[in-house]
Amino acid sequence: MKSITDILKSRNLLSIYLTAGFPTVERTIEILTEIEDYGVDFVELGMPFSDPLADGETIQQSSVTAIRNGMTLANYFEVLKIVRERTDLPIVYMGYLNQIMQYGAEAFCKKCNELDIQNLIIPDLPIEVYEKEYKQLYKKYGLLMSFLITPTTPEERIRKIEALTTGFIYVVSSSSITGKKRKITKKQQRHYEKIRAMNLSKPTMIGFGIYDKETYEFACRYANGAIIGSEFIRYVAKENAAQFLTSLKS
C-alpha cells in the first residue's frame, strides 16, 4: 500500500475531491479505480452530508444526488472495500463530524484503519475539540489528521495547527466556500507567499477555487500541490472528467 506520508514529500501533487456516490455508486468505483492513470496522486473521497456548511452549490448538489443514491457511511466503507481490491490509490476521508458521531468514533476509526484510509479531513471539527476528544483515538488507529487554514487564520494559530497536523495542512485559497471560480488575485498571491515564507514543517496542499491548469500550477509554486473539488465534480457530471484531468498536466 502506498503511504500518503511518502507521497506528500513530493511536489506538484494533484489531488481531487469526489463525493462518494456521485453521480452513481458504480461510477464512483470506476473513477477511483482509473484515476491514477490520469496523474492524480491521491483522492479526497467525500462522505455526503445533508447540510455541508463549508460547501458551495456544486458539492451540495452532488451530495443530494449521492444521498439519494443510498450513500451511507456503511456503504461508503463497502465502496472502499471494492476499490481496495483494484487499486492502492491513497484515499483521504473527508466528511462532517455528525456522521462520525452517529457511526461511533471508535468504530469509524477501526473501519478506516481496516480499509487503509490514512488521512482524515473533518471541516467542522475544530482543533480544540480534536485535541481534547479525538487526538488519542486517531493516534491509536494510526489515522493522520489534516487541518484547514484560511486567509484569516493568524500566524500564531497557524503554528498551533502546524504542530497538531499529522497529515498535511490544507491551505484554503481565499475566504470563501468551495466552488467559487475566480481569477487569481493579488490578495491570494500574498496569502500564498505568507504561507510559503512561514516554512511550515508539514506538507501543504492548496484547495478551494482551483479549477484549471493556471490556478493549479500557480498553487503548486507555493505548496506541495493542489486539490480540485467542485470543478472536477462539474466535469464528472458532464462525463468528461478524463479530458479535464489530462488538460491539467498537458
Q: Which is nearer to other proteins, 56 or 90 (CB)?
A: 56
CB-nearer residue toward other proteins: 9 or 190:
190
Q: Residue 144 — φ and ψ, nearest 5°?
A: -90, 150
- Residue 231 appears among annotated catalytic residues: no
Give the interface segment with other proteins, choosing from 83-91, 135-143, 168-176, 189-197 (CB under 8 A).
168-176
Residues 17, 44: contact at Cβ < 8 Å? yes
Asked whether the beta carbons of 210 and 164 are under 8 A apart, the reply is no
Among 26, 30, 41, 55, which one carries the catalytic annotation?
Answer: 55
Which residues 6+ apart lie within 8 Å of 120 measured at CB? 92, 93, 94, 112, 138, 143, 144, 145, 146, 167
Q: HEC states along 8-39?
A: CCCCCEEEEEEECCCCCHHHHHHHHHHHHHHC
Please select the residue that binds other proteins; options are 136, 152, 199, 250, rule is CB under 8 A. 152
Active site residue 55: yes
Is residue 78 close enough to count as binding other proteins by CB under 8 A? no
Give the total of residues touching other proteins (CB under 8 A): 38
Q: Give the residue from 241, 3, 62, 188 showing the smallest Cα distance to 196.
A: 188
d(CA 93, CA 112): 8
Nearer to other proteins, 127 or 237 (CB): 127
- Piece in contact with other proteins (CB under 8 A), picked from 100-108, 134-142, 189-197, 227-235: 100-108
Question: Rule CB under 8 A: which residues touch other proteins?
Answer: 49-51, 53-54, 56, 60, 67, 72-74, 96-103, 123-126, 128-129, 147-150, 152-154, 157, 172, 175-177, 180
User: Which residues are identified as catalytic?
Assistant: 44, 55
